[in-house]
Amino acid sequence: MSKIERKEREKQLRRESILDAAESVFFEKGLIASTMDEIAEKAELSKGTLYLYYRSKDDLYLGVICRGFDILIGKLSEAASPDVSTIQKLLNIGSAYYNFSQKHTHYFRMFSFLESPQFHTMASEELLNESHNQSKRAWDVIIDVISNGIKDGTFRENIDPVQMAIILWSNATAIMKLKDRKDQFWIENLNVDIDTVLQKSNAMLVSTMLTENAKRYYQPKL
């Protein structure tokens, strides 16, 4: 290993160590309440050194978000395994996203930051682009499944894969946020189980995509 390669490796290890510290602080306190001083202390670095690697708290937040996307993309790709039917792939993707939201709740909550551009004033273009590229990779898994489903005759030809992916993702995200924030409220006040609502809404949306032939093999549980 050359001197330059060794220095680059050491720099990357330091960046990961800083992200470890930032992740711990963000998970505990959230973005607004966290400070660069706390992160620097957690990383056992001076704040000046911290700024050599990440220019703002927003950049650190985005760096942690990208970690979450790495996990999510892996789960979605696994769910889209080629050894199951197209319909099952899409349902598996929905389950994988739900399981991610439950097991990695902090990451799931942090994703909302990308939906709030008014808070990106201190974020660098580099980290914003990286996080958006990661987000796109997640979208592409769903879009590819829908596109292939059109080709194999499972889904109707007049469906736009990108539009349908947005509908499915947005619907699931909104319902999972309801569960995350007020799960007991829906049970105690409306006698509604949000998990059941999510399953039924996914089934309903998938059923609207099916060709007449595919409907013979898939009966959604509504």
The CATH superfamily assigned to 57-217 is: Tetracycline Repressor, domain 2 (1.10.357.10)
- Residue 36 has a pLDDT of 96
pLDDT at 50 over 70: yes
Fold agreement between 1-54 and 57-217? no
Task: State the DSSP string of the chain.
Answer: --HHHHHHHHHHHHHHHHHHHHHHHHHHHHHHH--HHHHHHHHTS-HHHHHHH-SSHHHHHHHHHHHHHHHHHHHHHHHT-TTS-HHHHHHHHHHHHHHHHHHTHHHHHHGGGGG-GGG-TT--HHHHHHHHHHHHHHHHHHHHHHHHHHHTTSB-TT--HHHHHHHHHHHHHHHHHHHHHHHHHHHHHH---HHHHHHHHHHHHHHHHB-HHHHTT-----
- Residue 28 has a pLDDT of 96
CA distance 173 to 27: 20
The pLDDT tens digits of the residues spanning 158-169 come to 999 999 999 999
Residue with the two structure tokens 């050491």 = 10
Question: Is the model's pTM score more than 0.85?
Answer: yes
The pLDDT tens digits of the residues spanning 191-215 come to 989 999 999 999 999 999 999 999 8
Reported confidence tier of residue 221, pLDDT bands at 50, 70, 90 = low
Task: State the DSSP string of 32-56.
Answer: HH--HHHHHHHHTS-HHHHHHH-SS
The answer for residues whose C-beta is within 8 angstroms of residue 11's C-beta and 6 or more apart is 53
CA distance 121 to 163: 29
The pLDDT tens digits of the residues spanning 91-137 come to 999 999 999 999 999 999 999 998 888 878 889 999 999 999 999 99
pLDDT at 146 over 70: yes
**Paired residues of 155 in beta bridges:** 210
The structural domains of the chain, with segments of one domain joined by +, span 1-54, 57-217
Reported confidence tier of residue 2, pLDDT bands at 50, 70, 90 = confident
The pLDDT tens digits of the residues spanning 175-192 come to 999 988 877 888 888 898
CB 155 within 8 A of CB 214: yes
First-to-last CA distance in the chain?
Answer: 60
The CATH fold of domain 1-54: Arc Repressor Mutant, subunit A (1.10.10)
Mean pLDDT over each residue of the chain, to the nearest integer: 92
CA distance 101 to 179: 10
What's the rounded mean pLDDT across residues 6-20? 88
- Residue 159 has a pLDDT of 96
